[in-house]
Amino acid sequence: MGVDPILIGFGFPGEAKVSVNMGIFARALFGLAAAACLPAMGCAKGSSQSLPSGSRMEAVECSGKEVTLIDVNEDGRADIEHFGRNGRRFCSKVDLNFDGKIDVERFYEADGEQVAHERHDFDFDGRIDQLSFYEDGRLTRKELDTNFDHAIDTWLWCGDGWVSRSERDRRSNGRPDVWEVYDQGLIVEASYDDNNDDRPEKWDVFRGGKLVLTKYDDNGDGVPDRTDEMPLQSMGPADDALRCERVEGAEIATAQPKKPVAQGSQGVSQGGP
């Protein structure tokens, strides 16, 4: 099936990106039919992945008594698993690269359709690298592990599709030491805690995405004491506006058979023809 690889990326500067061929998963979106559980079919892959340290998400396990398994590549092992509770879909698990490890976990709102939050493993090491949060179908917040050490180091907030503010942990000690404010995705101000006292001592001010001046608190009273303006010739190019976007290819987690699976049962669907 001639489908170009889809780039799955964080959408934030400095974050790793992974290219995955999603063509075979597209087959799971169409022509699915419920089938009996196959003896050779690998079933649920166990408990949910553990949350990285620094995450502000409540730990919830992706599980349920109503289970639908889908074998996308027809290797006798489930690649997509849907879990239901009380007659509605509660969450889904997806193995993107067929290595038997969960790469995406998606949790749904009470209607079983609207996405509430997602967990992603981008480097396929079995550990969560990004958590995404939604309200009314809109991405509102992200938590990122940008250096793959199983600890959240970047927190993003979104508004109208753009990054509105962020916090970053440069020292990997679990505490933010950079706070950034954005307007329509363009950075406006960045404040820095350089002496590890949980308070900023330096502020960078931006206009049109360009650094124009830096303010310093020299006596530690929380108020800037001096300002250095950036010479026009030293400003350099403007930073790009940062968008808050849903991970491309995430729609594969909604693949499910046309026939419902009865409560308390397990079903298996093969990938489409």
- Are the CB atoms for 92 and 98 separated by under 8 Å? no
The pLDDT of residue 23 is 41
AA identity, residue 191: S
pLDDT tens, residue by residue, 53-78? 888 888 889 999 999 999 998 899 99
For the chain, the average pLDDT equals 77
- Long-range contacts of range 205-213, CB-CB < 8 Å, 24 or more positions apart? 206/239, 208/238, 209/238, 209/239, 209/240, 209/241, 210/235, 210/236, 210/237, 210/238, 210/239, 211/235, 211/236
The pLDDT of residue 259 is 35
Query: Above 60 in pLDDT, residue 96?
Result: yes
The pLDDT of residue 108 is 96
Q: What is the DSSP letter of 27?
A: G
pLDDT tens, residue by residue, 206-255? 999 999 999 999 998 999 999 999 887 777 888 899 999 765 444 443 44
The pLDDT of residue 48 is 59
Tokens read off for 256: 């499910």
Give the residues across from 120 on adjacent strands: 104, 130
AA identity, residue 101: K
Burial of 63 (0-12, 13-18, 19+ CB in 10 A): middle
Q: How far apart are CA 252 and CA 3, in angstroms?
A: 14
Sign, CA dihedral 71-76-77-81, equals positive
